[in-house]
Each structure stands twice: as structure tokens, then as C-alpha cells.
Structure 1
Amino acid sequence: MSRSERVSPTAYATGHFWVRHGLSDARLSTPQGRLLDGGFSAFTQLTQRLGGGSLEALMLARHAGIDARLDHAIETDGISQVVELAAGLSGRGLRYRQRHGERLTYIETDLPHMATLKADLLEQDGPLPAHHQVRPVDALADTGPRSLAAIADTLDPERGLVIITEGLMNYLPPAAADRAWALIAQTLGRFRAGVYLSDVYLLGHNRSLAMAAFGLMLSSFVRGRLHLHLHSTEHAKNRLTGLGFAEVTVWSPRDLPGAEAHAARAGGDRVRVLEARNARPQAPRKRATSRRTRAR
């Protein structure tokens, strides 16, 4: 098979989904994605009729919610390095590169075939700048060139680090999820300030017949079993602190700028944004101001 045929169909579908909603670049929309996104739209309409809510609202709420907390980490905590695991064909890396320029280092990662495909699509107009990279990484590898640790070795500990997983953790069985979380916590511990951001679905908040049917249909659509790892906010805090994080917060998208409207739709309130930190962040260092700037 060619490398594109080894990429998950859902990666193609979500790639076009983000483009369709104005959250990505047309380069990340593929013919496969346009075709599969049509099936995805029909699927989400079916889930709404069955009472499971809108899957589109859920995806938009989680995406905007993660963006809101990423903005906070950059603007308030002074963090200027981001690693996104299993980035797929999401346009977040491109959007943040365009917004922040060389001030922000953004590394998108995925398994080799997906990473190669994405790099090819993004480099249609020329090579990516040094501060925006697409690299192959296995989120469960603790050593080796394709490990998260190897990526961290190339970064500056004083600039802090945000690690993002969106749409990944529910594909991992419990033991693998714990392993991934522990590796992320260990990596963030190497940085002045470290923040982990992810979507999360609390079992206690999503326990209903309609949601059970919704989960079965979604598992069928993505061709794999989905796992709900966390029962409640308290369970999330206990489990992640036990795996090495110092502080854990579970955000409702209703409380995050840019995500409120999506969370107000049926289905959009099913997701939460998980934020875990390595320690209380230090205040970012003030940059020296030139005499010319002070005179203005």
C-alpha cells in the first residue's frame, strides 16, 4: 500500500472537517477527506436524531476549548514551545505558526505515515520554517528517536512546553493511556513550566442509554473500540496526580472563550478540557526594552 492508504480514514475525514469549519488550510483537505466527511456529516445527523447530541458540536467545543487554554499558556505563562501528539490533519499548528511567527516553536507529531503525509501536504508551497516541524513520534515509546523524550531533547527547558493530545486518549486501552500520561508528565517535568491539554469525556457525565448507543455507533464509524478512562473530575485529579502531574483542572467548554457557543449545543456539553501541570508556572521573564522602544 502507498503511505496515504495506511492513514486512518478518520484522519482524512477530520482533516476536511476542520477546513470546512474555517479552522484549517485548504492544503489539508484531501479528496479522501471530502468524500469521508460527507459520511461523517450523515453519521452526526443520525446521532442527533437518536438523542446523542451533535458530534460536530462536540468536536468544535473540544477544539476551541483546547485553543483557549493554549492561548492562556502562551500569553499568561510565557510558554513558547508546543508539541502536539497524534496531530493528524488538524490545522492548529499552522494557525498558531501564522499567529505567533518565530516566537513560538510548534512541533506536530504522529505515526510515520501520517507525519509524512502531513509534511508533504504542508510543503506544497515550500519547506516549513524551522519553528514549525512535523515529526514521527510514538506516544508510547519511552526511548529512541521517535519518542517524546527525543523531541524534548531538542527544546529549551527555559521556554516551557505545552503538550497536546486531541482525539487520541480514548483510542488507547487503560494501561496504554496510563503509560502515555506518565511519559507526558515525565517530559513536562524537565521544563520551567509544563502544561498538558487534552479532551476528556467523564463517564459519570456521559452515562445514559442514548450515549451508550452513541458510543457504539462512533466505535463502529472509527473502526475501533473507544475507552472512557475517567469517571469524574475528582477521579481525573487523583489518577493524573498519581501518574506524576502536580496540578489537574477539568474545564467545561462553557467556561472557555471561543468554546461557549459550541458547548451550548446538544452534544457540545459532553466533552471537557483536561489541563495538567508539572508545577505552578513561574512568571515569564521580562524582555529587555530598547532605548528606541522606551522613547515611543
Structure 2
Amino acid sequence: MDSGEFNDLGPERVASLRVSTQAELDRRAAAEVKAVEAATTEQNRAIGARLTTLTTLFGKDGVTVADRDFLDDPAVQAHPDYAAAVAARDLADETPGIRQMTPAQLDAAIAAERAAPKSETYQTERLEVLTTWRDAAAKGWTTEPVVQARTAGLPVPEIDVADTANLATGLAQRMTYATVLQRDGYITDPRGAVLDEAERTALRAVTAPEADVAPKIELARAIVQGTQGNPEFLNRIIARWFPVFAEATRLMTETGQTGVIEAMLRGQRSSLLATGSRRRRISNADQIAKP
């Protein structure tokens, strides 16, 4: 345009074209800058997400060779979350059993880290990672000890609440396991370490007042046998929702009889079903009465 080939358009038209052409060039340049910025932002987000995941995984299990190689990438090493991931890797490498440590043992590791020479690489991040691991472990052992034991890589006896034929054996093994966890300092109350949430949900389905009575009787027998005369291990959980079943289990433990217990559970179920039927009849009558 500056060569003069458009001069016959007139100076005003040429000036207008020059402005619009420059505006288009500026727009394209800005779009390219935004595209690069967006790509860089997404790359940093993806790197940060993976580094955060690795920082957690190094304290558990499942880190692969590819994950470790990922930390050798210069782009990854430039990310602000790189230091925490490397600190986690180093801690896991230095203490292979760190994920099996009790909260008290992790507290001791944190104290030792604080006492280490201040010149140690990534010491701040090491303390932060250890504290995060310790807090997560303490929460897990307090709220879901069975799940936390699996997360820590500890062998947890298998159990199937629906398999009443083998439930007694499974409960006995879990009770023994819970007392071992208490002995080793992972938990303070073994009664909460017998079942996980999924197993408690399955147990609630079987013991619900409206559930069939026969499976409940079988479950009560398995609980009495599996808990070795100490059904409080499970009744602490069951009684929150279904106190009648918990009381039936207690009575079976004390008397060894099932007749009264069966009558109790059948009476509860019949009463509940009758109440539900009565409510439906009233609701239907109300619907019919409406104009």
C-alpha cells in the first residue's frame, strides 16, 4: 500500500484502507497471543493437577515409572508445585513404609524434619507434605478406618454382609483385625473399625424394619457367632438406625433362643407394613373425596 499502487483510490480511501489493514493485523496478532496464553494456561493447569495428584500418591501407592519420568520434564520443573511433588517423592523413597505409619509416627517424622539442618533441599515443602499426609491419615483412621487401612496398603480381611454363611468368619476376622489396629496405635476404638461405609449400607438394608425377617435372623446368628458374644462391636452402629434389631441380637447372645427374637422382628415388620397400608388407604380416600 505504501508503494503507491492504490494512489488512484484517493488519499482518504488509501488512509482508510491502511487503518483497517493495520487493525486486522493487530487483531490477528492479539488472537495469536491469546491462543498462546490460553495454551500455556491449560498446560500449567494440567501440570499442576498432575503434580498435586503425585504429591498425594507418593504417600499412598500407584506411582508409575512414567510418573517419575514426568518430574524430569523442564516444563514441569518450572511449575510452582514441582517442589512439593519432589519433596513427596523423596520422603517416600527415604521411608518406603511411610504410608503405613500411624499419626503418632508421622508426628515424630514431622518433629525430626523440623530439627533437620535448614539447608536441606525442599525442607519447607517436606514439612508441608508430611503435615498434609499426617492430617489425611488421622482423619481417615478416625472416620473410616477400614478404608484408611486399605489406602495405607494394609491387608484387610474380606467380608460380604450378604453372604451370611461366611459372615461369622468374616466378622471374627475383622474384629481381630480391629483390635490389632488399636494395639498398633492406628485407632482408639476398635468397634468402629469392623465395617466400612459400603458394608454398613448393606447391613442397614438387611436389618431395616421392613426387610424380610428370615435373613435378619440369619444375620443375627452370624453376628452373635462372629462377634464371639460381644455384639456391641456392631450394635453401636446398628442401634443408631434399627434399635429393635440391635436388641434382638443382644437377646440372642444372652439366651441363644430365636423364637422370641423372631416374634419381635415379625411384630415390628407387621406393624410397619400395617401402618404403611393404613396411610395408603387414608391417602386414597382423600384422593377420592376430592371434587
User: What band does the TM-score fall into relative to the shorter chain?
Assistant: under 0.3
User: Over alpha carbons, which structure has the higher Rg?
Assistant: 2
TM-score by length of 1: 0.23
TM-score by length of 2: 0.23
Higher relative contact order (CA 8 A, sep 6+): 1
More strand by share: 1
